[in-house]
Structure 1
Amino acid sequence: MDHFLQSPQWGALQRDLGRTVHEHSGPGWRFLAIEESNPAGPLLYVPYGPIATSPAAFDAALAALTDLARSSGAVFVRIEPVDAGLADADPAAFLRTRGLRPAPANQQPELTWIVDLDRDFKDVLADMKPVNRNLYRNIHKKGVTFQSSQDPAEIAVLLRFLHLTSARNGFKPQSDDYLTQVARSLMPAGAATLFIAELDGAPIAAALAYDSADTRTYAHAALDDAHRKLSAGIPLLVTLMADAADRGLKQVDLWGVAPADHPDHKWAGFTAFKKSFGGREVAYPGTWDLPVRKLRYRGYELARAGAQAARQGLRAARTLPARLRTAVHR
């Protein structure tokens, strides 16, 4: 699929945020690259891209990115191909043979959860847990209604709930300024929609979604804890899906999920929530770096390795008994 982070609308948002964006294309390929920087120096970041229809097209996109990196002074290109394994059962081998190296960490989720909409919506509902279906069908009996909006001013509803959730759970949401600019850039263009659950006319939950040509991405959501027992976030998400189906979109991307074999993962709770709506897991190759100024990039790798070794040594020292720590420092 063509991910929303590779869409012209996302490029327009990045420019509105003051960033330099490059959008290039050729036969069977295209990419959106954002100029960024890190301790290695300038870099080009290609979120969930490049998009390519064949291995040859992927190679052409890499060549264009390399040329762009050289002309813009970037030390390396950081990519996240969603289809790099087009002709190979092992995406990592496919990427390594092209000179790419795994990045120190994934910038976007490596695993996501997709709900397919290109079927009767009754079948979508049938794949959900019964409680989800029942809430969607019956919550109106409790006075809860749903609306959608593309008015940027209404982003304040979501921001208020995000603040409440942050205070309750201790997580750090994206800044108000950032999400306000997202609303200003994307909502009037029809590329983002805010869904709001209301109880007797007062908002109690909100969710923001982004749309690409065939996919709706569930991006941000929060609710008023005072009405948690209503579980309005569940029918709100089903409403978001039903609206996407009505618009002819093929799938809803519920964004990142935790690996099934990591029950203690920090995302385990909302992973279970997302999977309760039916769907399937999709794995991406992850984040990879293409060094362009190779000596500079190698220095960056060595500096990171040294810093990591120092941190590991410090952690090991902290686990020593006090008597041994004293002896070590004499």
Structure 2
Amino acid sequence: MEYFLQTQAWADFQESLGRRVHQRSGQGWSFLAVEEKNPAGKVVYAPYGPVASSAEAFDAALAALTDAARSCGAVFVRIEPVGLGTAGAAELLRGRGLQPAPASQQPELSSIVDLEPDFKEVLARMKPVNRNLYRNIHKKGVTFRKSQDPEDIRILLNFLHMTARRNGFKPQSDDYLSQVARSLMPSGAATLFIAELHGGPIAAALAYDSADTRTYAHAALDDSHRKLSAGIPLLVTLMADAKDKGLKHVDLWGVAPDDRPDHKWAGFTAFKKSFGGREIAYPGTWDLPVKKLRYRTYQLARRLRDKLR
């Protein structure tokens, strides 16, 4: 799988926000890393990276990341080496001087729907209610369309505001998602899928595409039409379109572990798992101190703050 956060399109988007991006590659490895601010100072962060085909390639990528961090005065490197898997990853990372970050920045567990089989088989893996809604919701006057027009992001923003008021969470800002739309939608790197009832929007989902994977990133619906469950056939439509485009996977982007019913994602995890995907686990977010004394001071201050809270 090619992770969208390691693509050129994501680098272009980060640069459109005024952030400095570091991109390097070598034999069997590559990375896209972004300079970010942290209470410790500057950080060089590689989301779902670096990409490496072997332990030797990983070491070369880590050396290049460290070099990039030193060149810009960063306090530490932050990575999410998804290609390592989870078996033995912690030992390998600790052996190279890395330590777990205070919190993971990207999901450690996701659900992946594989699109390589015939789409009838993809549908067969879903819960029957999902298949039935996809096949029959048109009888209720619901239709679906996709858009690469950045102005259409307003549809999703309106639904996100509704969801935030209902569930008491804070979505990403309108400015951020509007810039996502302006940067990524015209090129086809992002697509907005819209469910409409008699021509009026009732649900929307924004997806990002890499060379082989579509990532289900943001979705929300109109509360007044919840009984139609349009979000289910909307997601199946997103998958069918990805299949038609020749993509191999749909990443449903973050689910809760089965043994964590109190997890903040537990509610929509059941929704995502109803599409018949397979779970994939990642090692999480790890830090490599470059300015070790300053990083240690940052960690001590963070622990003291947490105790006071």
Task: Report the TM-score when normalising by structure 1.
Answer: 0.92
Q: Which deviations, in whole Å up to 9, do the C-alpha atoms of 1:131-161 show, x marking residues without a partner?
A: 0000000000011000001011111111111
Give the Cα separation in 2 of the matches to 1:189 and 1:68: 29
Q: Which deviations, in whole Å up to 9, do the C-alpha atoms of 1:152-194 show, x marking residues without a partner?
A: 1111111111111111111111111110000000011110000
Give the Cα separation in 2 of the matches to 1:111 and 1:217: 14
Matching residue within 162, 165, 174 for 2:163: 165
Write out aligned runs for 1:1-330 (5 A). Answer: 1-85=1-85, 89-311=87-309
Give structure 1 stretches of 5+ with no counterpart: 312-330
8 Å CA contact retained: 1:114, 1:253? yes
Offset at residue 89 of structure 1 (A)? 3.1
Give the Cα separation in 2 of the matches to 1:13 and 1:161: 23
Offset at residue 72 of structure 1 (A)? 0.7
Give the Cα separation in 2 of the matches to 1:118 and 1:33: 30
Give the Cα separation in 2 of the matches to 1:297 and 1:168: 39
Give the Cα separation in 1 of the matches to 2:190 and 2:87: 35
Give the Cα separation in 1 of the matches to 2:161 and 2:37: 29
2:275 alignment partner, SS class: coil
Offset at residue 307 of structure 1 (A)? 2.0
2:45 alignment partner, SS class: strand
Offset at residue 308 of structure 1 (A)? 2.3
Offset at residue 265 of structure 1 (A)? 1.3
Q: Which deviations, in whole Å up to 9, do the C-alpha atoms of 1:197-237 show, x marking residues without a partner?
A: 01111111000000001000000001111111110000000
Give the Cα separation in 1 of the matches to 2:32 and 2:39: 22
Give the Cα separation in 2 of the matches to 1:264 and 1:37: 31
Give the Cα separation in 1 of the matches to 2:179 and 2:87: 40
8 Å CA contact retained: 1:111, 1:258? yes
Residue identity opposite 2:27 in structure 1: P
Q: Which deviations, in whole Å up to 9, do the C-alpha atoms of 1:26-65 show, x marking residues without a partner?
A: 1111111110111111110110000011111100000001
Q: Percent identity?
A: 76
Give the Cα separation in 2 of the matches to 1:238 and 1:120: 14
Runs of 4+ that moved beyond 3 A: none
Give the Cα separation in 2 of the matches to 1:153 and 1:308: 42
The alignment yields a C-alpha RMSD, in angstroms, of 0.9
Residue identity opposite 2:121 in structure 1: D
Offset at residue 2 of structure 1 (A)? 2.1
Give the Cα separation in 2 of the matches to 1:228 and 1:18: 39
Give the Cα separation in 2 of the matches to 1:101 and 1:218: 30
1:23 alignment partner, SS class: strand
Give the Cα separation in 2 of the matches to 1:302 and 1:84: 29
Give the Cα separation in 2 of the matches to 1:140 and 1:39: 51
8 Å CA contact retained: 1:84, 1:94? no
Offset at residue 294 of structure 1 (A)? 0.8
1:83 alignment partner, SS class: helix
Task: Report the TM-score when normalising by structure 2.
Answer: 0.98
Give the Cα separation in 2 of the matches to 1:225 and 1:64: 48
1:146 alignment partner, SS class: strand
Give the Cα separation in 2 of the matches to 1:64 and 1:182: 28
1:194 alignment partner, SS class: strand
